[in-house]
Each structure stands twice: as C-alpha cells, then as structure tokens.
C-alpha cells in the first residue's frame, strides 16, 4: 500500500474520530511523500497544506472546524490525481493546485472568524456594558458577569474573540470592584474594546490580519490601563490611611499661591454647633421639624421626574439643558454644537434684555437685598448698626477663643435647623475680613475713651499715649493703606492739639464750654466722626 492510499485511509478514520495516533500516522505519511516528491513543487505545496491542517487537527481534535476534514479529503484526492495521472498537463496540474490553495485559504479564514456568536449575544453584551456605563450597581455587575462568563465559555476556542472578551471581563470586574473610585477612563476603555469586539464579530469579510491588528491595539491600551492601576492603588491606600495632619496640596494651589495659605491663615467660617448647644430662646421657629426628606416619597410636591416629559413641548431652561446634554451624546455631534443650541435658546435677542457676566465685587449688599431674602426665607432681620456689629465681633472673638479649634477660625455655631440660626452680621460679608486681634481692640477702646473725654485732650501725657497707641496700630496695620491713612489723620489732629499753646488750650476749653452750653453734642460728634470711619473699616 502506497503512502497516498494510506493517507486516504487515515483521513477516513479522522472523519469519525480524531486521535493522536491517527494524526501521528498522518504526519508520518506526509513525511514519506515529501521525501519521495522532493523535487516536485506542486506536490510539495500540497504536502505543506496537509501538514498545516494536521497540526490544526492535532491541536483542536474533535473541536476542529467542520470543514477541515472535507478540505483535507479534497487535498488528498487532488494530490492523488496529479501524482497518478501521467497524462495531466502542467497547466491543469497548476490549476488544480490553485483551486486547492483557494479552498485552503477559505477554510483558514473560516477557522479564524467562524465563532458562532449571534446578534443576540452581541446585544446582550452591549446591554450589560451600557448598563454599567449608566450605573454601577450590584445588579448591573451581576448581569455583566453572567453574560461575559457565558461568552468566554462559548468562544474559548476562538483566540481573537476570546482575548477581546478577556479584556472586557477584566476591565468590567475592575470597575465592579472599584465602583466610583475606578479611573475616569475605565468605562470609556471598556466601551471602546466592546465596539472593536462587535466590529470583528459582525464583519465576516474581515481578514485575520485585520482582526489581529485591532486586537493588538486594544491589548496595548489594556496594558497601559493596567500600568496606571498600581500607582492609583498606592495613592488610594495612602489616602485612606492618612491622618488629618497629612499635608495635601490645597485645592487651586496649582493656580495661585498666597502667603495666607502658607501661614495657615484661614477665612471666616460659619459653623454648625452640636444639637445640645442650640440656644432655644429667641428663635422664631424652634419647633421640632421633620428631616428634609422624611416624607419625600409620599409628597405630591416632590421633585418631578422628567423622564415622563421627555417628549413634551420644551419650555423651561431645564428642558433646554436636557436637550443639550442629549445632543452631546449623539454620534457626530460635538459638545460645541450642544453649547450652540444653548446659546441660541438662551441668547435670543429681546427688547430690553441684557446678559451680564457677573464679577465678584466684594461689596456690601444693599440692605434691601438682605431684607427681601430674610422675608422670603422667614429669617430674623439682623441688626445692621455698625456699633453693634463691632460689639458682636468683639464678643464673638472672645467666645471663639474659648471654644474648640474650628471655632477659633471665626466659625458660627451649628444649629440643626436653619431657622434657628442667626448669622453673625459681622460675618455676612462678601469677602473675608482681616482678623482684628484682642490687642488692637484694646487699643481702639482706649483711644475711644481718650477722644470721648475732653479732659484727656488737654492733658499732654494723654496726648502722648494717644500717639503711642496710634504708632502701635500703624505697626499692626502696616499692610492696610486705608487704615494707615486714617491713623495718620488722627495723629495729625492729635499733634495739632499737642502743639497748641496752653492759652489756646484754655481758650479752646472755654470755647468748648461755651459750645457745650449751646450745643452739648458738638465736640463729641467731631471725634465720633473719626472713630466712625475706623469702625467703618471693620464693618465694611
């Protein structure tokens, strides 16, 4: 029995069952034929195809593609024809070879792209990935796990598909573990890998090389993604274990640096005191109030779910914004177009209408604003007297220093219900104010006493003390030109008084006495005016 006959017999047995023994016997016969037809290029090509197929069958055995044994049969038959038919012309032999090569290539492509993946499988996978993109919940993650595991099992013999699925599975699982802490680009990578998988799974004409190329790109992206993870893991670990004292780069520190930030100086903060600390008296509405969301579900006045209104006539700014958000997700539309849409709806020119881009002015709101808002929110109107404000500031400074750490930063105490708050009016400023130290307050009070007592103004030692106090304040406020200017005015006035001759002082005294008789308040008004300006600095 020659090798070809033997080959045919082995192929017949392979039809029933593919065993290692058959494959080995098949490969042995191919080797023998190779030696016999060493100089025949046509036969060598046939044998090459058979050797390749035998390797494939040895690897896949009974899981091999259904067309592989018929293809092998055909190759063996045609090989027999060109070796046994001595009348066969060379052109005919070449044609037979070309036909077999074509069949072999078709089989190869089928093997590479054959996976029995249906549209339904693709849609299921798409659905679970989109569900994760929409919301990372236990349900969506469980569905994702089920679908991907099934597909992995189903496509385990198709290397390219299987690799795609492994990447999808790994990223999805990682997102499931990390949830909101997953890197921002995790879901976009997942979606991108799925889109490529869908492309190769639904394009039968795509060559193996093209598929491999697409897969290669995704593998590289996946490795890049994986490389980022350990770093983030390390950072997250450090974060969770850090104490509060650990230094973090403050927000916006990459934009601006301030000396205040460096020295730890902080701005005023309105605090919320412990519930047991609530002052119960003097509040307008201190009755126990149900938590904000206690009866949210049963309330008919709760938020509207606009999903039901998606197709209604658009009339509110929210509807316009929602349309713009949807538009940015439409393929081919850019966010710029979404913005243009907003511009068109919002920027319709109308008689008398102007758009104003607001800039923080750091100015005091006019009283009408505060009054209107207090009325609207049923809040008690705070007293606006600048003298009272100063007094409150001084008081709160003392209280703060006795309280805890956070309150030392000018924090207004916590109260559980906002109507039981009373914002400290001194803190109701649009910009944080420089802190006034206790020492400064003492000096100011001393100066106030000096200027309010007419005797002090006639006493040279008192005038000297005034000048010393002014110098101290000048040092303390050296960075505030307005205050310095006012202090210089006071200093000049004081020097004027100090340098006046005694007689003039006496004249002044008698004049003052005269004036006191006619208008007792007149001299006091003058000094209050200067102090008023100083107070104004703290209250503006």
**Considering only residues 430, 453, 488, 510, which one is a binding residue for other proteins as defined by CB under 8 A?**
430
Stretch that binds other proteins, among 105-113, 222-230, 333-341, 476-484 (CB under 8 A): 333-341
Q: Which contacts (CB < 8 Å, 24+ apart) does range 58-62 have?
A: 58/20, 58/23, 60/157, 61/18, 61/19, 62/17, 62/18
**Considering only residues 116, 120, 288, 359, which one is a binding residue for other proteins as defined by CB under 8 A?**
359
Using the minimum distance from each CB to other proteins, give the nearer residue, 45 or 273: 273
Chain positions 150 to 189 lying near other proteins, rule: CB under 8 A, are 180, 184, 187
Question: Interface mask (CB under 8 A) for other proteins, residues 380-419, using x and -?
Answer: -------------------------xx--x-x--xxxxxx
Using the minimum distance from each CB to other proteins, give the nearer residue, 368 or 518: 368
> Is residue 68 close enough to count as binding other proteins by CB under 8 A?
no
Using the minimum distance from each CB to other proteins, give the nearer residue, 64 or 187: 187
> Is residue 256 close enough to count as binding other proteins by CB under 8 A?
yes
CA-wise closest residue to 56 among 44, 66, 46, 41: 66
Q: How many residues contact other proteins, by CB under 8 A? A: 103
- DSSP state at residue 435: P
> Is residue 514 close enough to count as binding other proteins by CB under 8 A?
no
CA-wise closest residue to 149 among 130, 132, 128: 128
For residues 270 and 264, give the distance between their C-alpha atoms in angstroms, rounded to a whole number. Answer: 18
CA-wise closest residue to 98 among 80, 77, 75: 75
Chain positions 119 to 148 lying near other proteins, rule: CB under 8 A, are 133-135, 137
- DSSP state at residue 87: T
Stretch that binds other proteins, among 19-27, 28-36, 81-89, 302-310 (CB under 8 A): 302-310
For residues 339 and 346, give the distance between their C-alpha atoms in angstroms, rounded to a whole number. Answer: 10
Using the minimum distance from each CB to other proteins, give the nearer residue, 369 or 464: 369
Q: Which contacts (CB < 8 Å, 24+ apart) does range 391-395 have?
A: 392/424, 392/425, 392/426, 393/424, 393/426, 393/436, 393/538, 394/441
Stretch that binds other proteins, among 148-156, 270-278, 487-495, 529-537 (CB under 8 A): 270-278
Least distance (Å) between residue 293 CB and other proteins:
6
Distances 219 to 3, 133, 239, 252, 308 between C-alpha atoms, Å: 45, 21, 30, 36, 42
Contact (Cβ atoms closer than 8 angstroms) between residue 410 and residue 399: no
Contact (Cβ atoms closer than 8 angstroms) between residue 474 and residue 484: yes
Stretch that binds other proteins, among 115-123, 289-297, 464-472, 504-512 (CB under 8 A): 289-297
**Considering only residues 88, 203, 330, 373, which one is a binding residue for other proteins as defined by CB under 8 A?**
373
**Considering only residues 90, 91, 119, 305, which one is a binding residue for other proteins as defined by CB under 8 A?**
305
Residue 420's Cβ-side half-sphere holds a number of Cα atoms within 13 Å equal to 19
């Amino acid at each position: 029995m020659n090798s070809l006959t033997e080959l045919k017999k082995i192929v017949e047995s392979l039809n029933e069952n593919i065993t290692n023994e058959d494959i080995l016997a098949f490969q042995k016969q191919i080797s023998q034929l190779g030696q016999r037809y060493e100089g025949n290029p046509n036969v060598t090509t046939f044998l090459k195809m058979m050797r390749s197929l035998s390797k494939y069958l040895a690897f896949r055995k009974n899981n091999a593609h259904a067309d592989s044994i018929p293809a092998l049969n055909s190759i063996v038959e045609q090989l027999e024809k060109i070796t046994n038919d001595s009348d066969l012309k060379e052109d005919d032999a070449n044609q037979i070879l070309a036909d077999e090569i074509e069949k072999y290539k078709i089989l190869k492509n089928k093997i590479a792209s054959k996976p029995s993946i249906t549209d339904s499988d693709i849609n299921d996978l798409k659905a679970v990935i989109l569900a994760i993109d929409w919301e990372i919940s236990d349900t969506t993650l469980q569905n994702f796990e089920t679908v991907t595991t099934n597909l992995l099992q189903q496509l385990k013999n198709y290397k390219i598909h299987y690799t795609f699925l492994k990447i999808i599975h790994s990223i999805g699982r990682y997102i499931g573990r990390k949830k909101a802490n997953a890197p921002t680009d995790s879901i976009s990578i997942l979606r991108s890998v799925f889109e490529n998988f869908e492309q190769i799974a639904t394009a039968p004409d795509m060559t193996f090389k093209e598929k491999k190329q697409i897969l290669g790109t995704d593998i590289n992206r996946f490795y890049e993604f994986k490389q980022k993870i350990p770093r983030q893991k390390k950072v997250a670990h450090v974060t969770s274990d850090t104490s509060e004292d650990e230094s973090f780069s403050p927000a916006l520190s990459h934009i601006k640096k301030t000396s205040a930030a460096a020295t730890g100086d902080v701005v005023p903060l309105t605090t919320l005191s412990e519930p047991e600390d609530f002052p119960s008296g003097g509040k307008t509405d201190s009755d126990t109030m149900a938590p904000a969301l206690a009866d949210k579900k049963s309330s008919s006045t709760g938020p509207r779910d606009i999903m039901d209104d998606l197709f209604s006539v658009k009339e509110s700014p929210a509807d316009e914004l929602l349309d713009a958000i949807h538009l940015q997700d439409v393929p081919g539309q850019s966010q710029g177009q979404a913005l243009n849409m907003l511009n068109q709806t919002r920027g319709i020119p109308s008689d008398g209408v102007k758009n104003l881009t607001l800039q923080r002015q750091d100015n005091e709101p006019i009283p009408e604003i505060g009054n209107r808002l207090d009325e609207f929110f049923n809040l008690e109107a705070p007293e606006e007297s600048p003298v009272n404000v100063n007094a409150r500031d001084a008081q709160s400074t003392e209280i703060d220093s006795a309280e805890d750490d956070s309150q030392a930063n000018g924090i207004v105490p916590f109260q559980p219900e906002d109507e039981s708050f009373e914002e400290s009016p001194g803190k109701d400023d649009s910009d944080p104010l420089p802190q006034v130290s206790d020492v400064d307050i003492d000096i100011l009070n001393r100066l106030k006493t000096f200027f309010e007592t007419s005797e002090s103004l006639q006493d040279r030692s008192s005038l000297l003390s005034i000048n010393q106090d002014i110098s101290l304040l000048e040092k303390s406020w050296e960075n505030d030109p307005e205050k310095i200017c006012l202090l210089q005015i006071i200093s000049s006035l004081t020097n004027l008084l100090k340098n006046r001759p005694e007689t003039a002082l006496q004249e002044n005294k008698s004049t003052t006495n005269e004036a006191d008789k006619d208008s007792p308040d007149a001299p006091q008004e003058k000094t209050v005016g200067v102090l008023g300006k100083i107070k104004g600095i703290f209250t503006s």
